């Protein structure tokens, strides 16, 4: 599987019921459980099925109820809750059959569609948190890795470990780290303790960013929002770690509990470069609240995904063992 279309492919098995054509992929996790963006992506795709051409997805809000495994396909059920001249709302649930033969719900979400209005009363959007470099001035991940090894910021073995965990994303998208990005300066926190250009800022004032576009050609509204649903989930759960120059492997548990994905404009083209920015706003009770926002090349904010995530410290025994090394 080399494209998002293949990875997120569904086949309709009966009315309002779909099955994944392939097993879910793993990324950003050492356990054999699926990347959360996969579940959000297939939920988005299923929700878009049979929606009238003049409607656009503007929000999908949901909860992860359990992980999806990577050794079996998912099943997606949908149900229409509302149909009016201007709005459509669908319930979406993702299930997977367990070893005991019972189905377990992995994710449940509500997807909302809005007819394309003839005009807007107001058009505005907030800018990114800081001035970021252009696509042309930003780093490809491959170039940044070579530089970090050359400058002895990371060893080749550490880069290889990063590649093993995150190789899927590099195959799917053309991504460039902005020089201002903490994700780029630390290679998503793998350069633990690295002093970034934002050391003088508090955690909630820090931000990170990259430019991204899908490698495959997408044409329909469904393909665009499905791909972006997959991509915008990436890194949010461990953004609080990265913004402190820590890799996700430092935590005892780090995963998404709930998400709110909003598309802020009817037309989005994932074939074009967009600027993605991550920020975190609050953390307590082993939970964090963070966001990824997306702007087009003209500076218009086109999407936002907020998430509440679980973030637990490592087990005390493991922490004690590390301190002795």
Q: What is the mean pLDDT of residues 12-29?
A: 87
Other beta carbons within 10 angstroms of residue 218's beta carbon come to: 21
- pLDDT computed for residue 170 by the predictor: 79
Query: Tokens 């994932």, residue?
Result: 270
* Residues 176-216 pLDDT 10s: 999 999 999 999 999 999 999 999 999 999 999 999 999 99
Rounded to 5 degrees, what are φ and ψ at 114?
A: -130, 135
Q: Is residue 93 part of a domain?
A: yes
Domain, as residue range, for 265:
4-116+133-312
Distance CA 252, CA 312 (A): 5
Q: How many domains does one find in the chain?
A: 1
Q: Is residue 145 part of a domain?
A: yes
Residue 61: which of 9, 107, 96 has the closest Cα? Answer: 107
Query: Tokens 């086109």, residue?
Result: 302
CA dist 149 to 166, 170, 190, 198, 243, Å?
A: 18, 19, 12, 22, 21
What percent of the chain has pLDDT above 90?
81
Q: Is residue 75 part of a domain?
A: yes
Q: What is the mean pLDDT of residues 99-117?
A: 95
Distance CA 287, CA 311 (A): 5
Distance CA 318, CA 132 (A): 38
- pLDDT computed for residue 321 by the predictor: 52
User: Starting from the edge strand earliest in sequence, which strands make up the sheet with 253-263, in order?
Assistant: 10-14, 17-20, 75-83, 87-97, 103-115, 55-64, 253-263, 301-312, 287-295, 274-284, 208-214, 173-177
Q: What is the mean pLDDT of residues 7-28?
A: 90
| Helix axes of 221-232 and 36-48: crossing angle, nearest 10 degrees | 160
Query: Which residues on adjacent β-strands are paired with residue 260?
Result: 61, 306
Distance CA 245, CA 206 (A): 11
Q: Is residue 180 part of a domain?
A: yes
Rounded to 5 degrees, what are φ and ψ at 182?
A: -70, -35
Residues ≥6 apart with Cβ < 8 Å to 302: 263, 264, 265, 268, 274, 294, 295, 296
Whether residue 139 is predicted with pLDDT greater than 70 in this model: the reply is yes
Q: CATH code at 66? A: 2.40.160.210
* Residues 56-84 pLDDT 10s: 999 999 999 998 999 999 999 999 999 99
Query: Tokens 């953390």, residue?
Result: 283
- pLDDT computed for residue 29 by the predictor: 56
Q: Is residue 85 part of a domain?
A: yes
pTM for the whole structure: 0.92
Q: Is residue 322 part of a domain?
A: no
- Least confident piece of the model among 20-24, 28-32, 36-40, 67-71: 28-32
Q: Is residue 163 part of a domain?
A: yes
Query: Which residues on adjacent β-strands are paired with residue 278?
Result: 208, 292
Q: Is residue 321 part of a domain?
A: no
For every residue of 215-243, DSSP letters joined together read: SS---SHHHHHHHHHHHHTTTSTTHHHHT
- pLDDT computed for residue 165 by the predictor: 81
Distance CA 203, CA 240 (A): 8
Query: Tokens 């099925």, residue?
Result: 49
Distance CA 207, CA 209 (A): 7
């Amino acid at each position: 599987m080399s494209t998002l279309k293949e990875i997120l492919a569904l086949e309709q098995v009966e009315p309002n019921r779909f099955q994944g054509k392939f097993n879910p992929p793993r990324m950003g996790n050492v356990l054999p459980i699926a990347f959360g963006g996969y579940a959000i992506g297939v939920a988005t795709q299923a929700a878009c099925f049979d929606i009238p051409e003049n409607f656009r997805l503007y929000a999908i809000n949901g909860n992860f109820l359990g992980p999806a495994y990577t050794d079996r396909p998912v099943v997606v059920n949908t149900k229409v809750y509302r149909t009016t001249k201007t709005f459509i709302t669908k319930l979406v649930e993702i299930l997977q059959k367990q070893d005991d033969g019972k189905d377990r719900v992995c994710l449940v979400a509500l997807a909302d569609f809005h007819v394309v209005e003839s005009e807007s009363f107001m058009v505005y959007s907030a800018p990114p948190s800081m001035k970021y470099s252009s696509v042309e001035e930003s780093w490809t991940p491959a170039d940044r890795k070579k530089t970090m090894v050359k400058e002895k910021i990371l060893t080749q073995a550490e880069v290889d470990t990063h590649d093993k965990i995150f190789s899927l994303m590099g195959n799917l998208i053309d991504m460039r780290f902005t020089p201002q990005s903490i994700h780029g300066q630390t290679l998503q926190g793998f350069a633990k303790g690295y002093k970034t250009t934002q050391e003088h800022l508090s955690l909630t004032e820090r931000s990170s960013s990259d430019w991204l576009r899908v490698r495959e050609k997408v044409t329909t509204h469904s393909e665009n929002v499905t791909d972006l649903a997959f991509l915008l989930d990436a890194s949010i759960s461990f953004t609080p770690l990265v913004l402190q120059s820590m890799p996700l492997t430092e935590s005892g548990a780090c995963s998404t509990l709930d998400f709110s994905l909003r598309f802020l404009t009817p037309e989005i083209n994932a074939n074009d470069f967009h600027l993605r920015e991550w920020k975190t706003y609050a953390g307590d009770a082993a939970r964090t609240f963070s966001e990824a926002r997306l702007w087009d090349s003209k500076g218009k904010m086109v999407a936002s995904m907020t998430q509440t995530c679980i973030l637990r410290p490592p087990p005390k025994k493991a922490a004690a063992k590390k301190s002795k090394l």
